[in-house]
C-alpha cells in the first residue's frame, strides 16, 4: 500500500525572460511523490472505538462504614474544647521556638539600645496562654489597630488587655512568635507546617466526620508578599 503526496512547484517559462521585462511565471503544476506507508502491524488500531455513549457501565458504590462522633469525652466549656487542640508539650515547643527566635532578632543588624527587643525576657507557658487569650479576644472586639486595645481614652478603654499584659510586651511576643527553626527551600509553608500537622493529627484523633460534608473556604484579605498567592477575581475578601 502506497500513499500519494502532492506538492506544488512553480516553473518559469524561459521564452518570456527579458532583461527589461519581468518574467511571468507559469501556472503552478502538480507533481507527485510516492513514499512507502507504515506496515500494517504498526498502524493504529480502531478496534474498540465507538461513536456513541453506552449506558451499560456500572458505578462502584463504596459503603460508608464510619459514624459521626467525638472520639473523646465531650468538653463541658469552651476552655476544655480549646484545650483539645493544644497540649502542654505543644505549648512548650512554641515557647522554646519563640525564645530562640527572639535571640535571632536581637542579633540582627540595626538593633540599638532603644530597640524594643532589648527588653525581651524569656517567654513561659503561662504567659503564652495569656497572649493567646488576648489575641483571640481581638477577634471578638474589632478595632482598627492593635494599639487601640490599650488606649486610655474613654471610647477605647478596654481594661482587660492592660490588666493582663502591657502593649509593648504583647507586640514583642507577636514579633518573635515562631513555630520552627528548621529551614526548608522546598516547603513554602515550612514556618507554619508544624502547627498545621499538629492540628490535622489532633482532629483525626478526636473527631470522626459524617458521610455528608460541606466544604467551604475562608477568604482573608491579604496585601502582603506571598510567592504562591493566587488571585481569584470572582471572590471578594
- Per-residue confidence (pLDDT) for residue 197, from 0 to 100: 92
Task: In whole angstroms, give the CA distance from residue 141 to residue 164.
Answer: 16
CA 228/CA 231 separation, integer angstroms: 10
Q: What is the DSSP-derived secondary structure letter of residue 199?
A: H
pLDDT score recorded for residue 182: 82
Alpha carbon 236 to chain centroid, angstroms: 17
Q: How far, in Å, CA of 179 to CA of 37, rounded?
A: 66
Beta bridge partners of 186: none
Q: Measuring CA to CA, how many Å separate 63 from each of 56, 60, 69, 211?
A: 22, 10, 18, 10
> What is residue 59's predicted lDDT score, i.e. its pLDDT?
78
To the nearest 10 degrees (0 to 180), the angle between helices 88-106 and 167-176 is 90
What phi and psi values does residue 4 have, to the nearest 5 degrees? -100, 120
**pLDDT score at 10:** 45
C-alpha separations of 173 from 40, 45, 77, 166, 196 in Å: 76, 69, 28, 11, 20
Are 128 and 95 a contacting pair, CB within 8 Å? yes
**Tens of pLDDT along the chain (237 residues)?**
444 444 444 444 444 444 444 455 555 555 555 555 555 656 655 565 556 776 767 777 888 888 889 999 999 998 899 889 888 889 999 999 999 999 999 998 988 888 989 999 999 999 999 999 999 999 999 899 999 999 988 888 888 999 999 999 999 999 999 999 887 778 888 888 999 999 999 999 999 998 888 877 767 776 777 666 566 666 555
Across the chain, how many H-helices and E-strands are there? Answer: 6, 4
3-class secondary structure, 30? strand
pTM to 2 decimals?
A: 0.65
Are the C-beta atoms of residues 117 and 105 closer than 8 Å to each other? Answer: yes
User: b vs e for 155-170, b when ≥16 Cβ sit within 10 Å of the residue's Cβ?
Assistant: eeeeeebeeebeeebb
The dihedrals phi and psi of 56, each to the nearest 5 degrees, come to -90, 0
Q: What is the pLDDT of residue 235?
A: 58
Q: Is 81 left (phi over 0), alpha (psi -120 to 50) or beta?
A: alpha
Question: What was the pLDDT predicted at 9?
Answer: 45
Amino acid at each position: 500500500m502506497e500513499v500519494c503526496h502532492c506538492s506544488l512547484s512553480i516553473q518559469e517559462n524561459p521564452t518570456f525572460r527579458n532583461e527589461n521585462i519581468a518574467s511571468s511565471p507559469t501556472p503552478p503544476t502538480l507533481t507527485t511523490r510516492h513514499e512507502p506507508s507504515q506496515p500494517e502491524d504498526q498502524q493504529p488500531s480502531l478496534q474498540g472505538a465507538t461513536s456513541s455513549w453506552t449506558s451499560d457501565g456500572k458505578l462502584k458504590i463504596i459503603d460508608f462504614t464510619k459514624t459521626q462522633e467525638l472520639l473523646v469525652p465531650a468538653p463541658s466549656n469552651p476552655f476544655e474544647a480549646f484545650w483539645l487542640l493544644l497540649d502542654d508539650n505543644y505549648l512548650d515547643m512554641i515557647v522554646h521556638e519563640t525564645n530562640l527566635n527572639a535571640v535571632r532578632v536581637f542579633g540582627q543588624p540595626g538593633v540599638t539600645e532603644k530597640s524594643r527587643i532589648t527588653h525581651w525576657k524569656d517567654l513561659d507557658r503561662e504567659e503564652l496562654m495569656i497572649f493567646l487569650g488576648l489575641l483571640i479576644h481581638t477577634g471578638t472586639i474589632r478595632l482598627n489597630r492593635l494599639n487601640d486595645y490599650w488606649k486610655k481614652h474613654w471610647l477605647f478603654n478596654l481594661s482587660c488587655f492592660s490588666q493582663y499584659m502591657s502593649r509593648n510586651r504583647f507586640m514583642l511576643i507577636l514579633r518573635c512568635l515562631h513555630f520552627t527553626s528548621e529551614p526548608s527551600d522546598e516547603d513554602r509553608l515550612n514556618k507554619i507546617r508544624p502547627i498545621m500537622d499538629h492540628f490535622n493529627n489532633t482532629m483525626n484523633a478526636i473527631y470522626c466526620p459524617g458521610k455528608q460534608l460541606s466544604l467551604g473556604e475562608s477568604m482573608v484579605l491579604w496585601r502582603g508578599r506571598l510567592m504562591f498567592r493566587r488571585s481569584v477575581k470572582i471572590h471578594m475578601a
